[in-house]
């Protein structure tokens, strides 16, 4: 097996952390009165909508979590219930970020506060969420799933990748490197 499913998700967390770090720095700059570039903002919304929601969360929520539940992990409570709620909060923040960016691009002077608050909302959620997945969920998953089950997940992840487009994943890797 080339890579375990959990290793793939952990590598994606690394990209998310890089972009979230860039969001924290951007929020500080806008808070201090600097103007954020349109291209940067549009890329950040795109990263959240496509990479985080359609690629990463889809792999976890539609493939990993259901398999773990099938293997006997409780659907409610810690860790799956909690992580699912955090994904829902992230989804709402992504919608808010889209709205905040749209409003800010129309009216940078009046909407800076909305943009800063939303960016900081994402920054507040992710490090803890990723920590819980890297140090609780994935070690637990590696104990529960055998090689064949991990391979099955990797195949399902490839279907998700093909749906969003392999070039899209690569584009986001470059974007995260640039942002980080």
One of 133, 137, 145, 153 touching Fe ion (CB under 5 A):
133
CB 17 within 8 A of CB 125: no
Nearest to 105 by CA among 154, 42, 164: 42
For Fe ion, what does the binding mask look like between residues 72 and 101, x meaning CB under 5 A?
Answer: ------------------------------
| Least distance from Fe ion to the Cβ atom of residue 130, Å | 6
| Least distance from Fe ion to the Cβ atom of residue 23, Å | 16
Q: Does 58 bind Fe ion (CB under 5 A)?
A: no
Give 27 or 133: the residue with its C-beta nearer to Fe ion. Answer: 133
Q: How far apart are CA 103 and CA 106, in angstroms?
A: 5
Tell me which stretch binds Fe ion (CB under 5 A): 36-44, 116-124, 125-133, 146-154: 125-133
CB 144 within 8 A of CB 68: yes
Q: Which helix (H) or strand (E) holds 167?
A: helix 166-179
| Least distance from Fe ion to the Cβ atom of residue 37, Å | 28
CB 132 within 8 A of CB 83: yes
Residues forming the site for Fe ion (CB under 5 A) = 133
């Amino acid at each position: 097996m080339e890579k375990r499913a959990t290793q793939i998700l952990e590598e994606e967390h690394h990209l998310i952390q890089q972009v979230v770090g860039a969001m924290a720095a951007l929020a500080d700059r806008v808070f201090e009165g600097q103007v954020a570039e349109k291209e940067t903002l549009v890329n950040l919304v795109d990263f959240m909508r496509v990479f985080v929601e359609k690629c990463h969360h889809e792999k976890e929520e539609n493939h990993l979590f259901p398999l773990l539940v099938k293997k006997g992990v409780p659907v409610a409570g810690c860790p799956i219930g909690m992580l699912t709620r955090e994904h829902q909060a992230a989804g709402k923040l992504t919608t808010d970020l889209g709205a905040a960016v749209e409003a800010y691009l129309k009216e940078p002077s009046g909407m800076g506060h909305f943009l800063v608050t939303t960016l900081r909302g994402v920054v507040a959620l992710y490090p803890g969420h990723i920590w819980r997945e890297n140090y609780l969920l994935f070690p637990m998953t590696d104990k529960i799933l055998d090689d064949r089950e991990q391979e099955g997940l990797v195949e399902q992840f490839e279907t998700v990748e093909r749906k969003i487009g392999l070039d899209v994943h690569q584009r986001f890797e470059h974007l995260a490197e640039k942002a980080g």
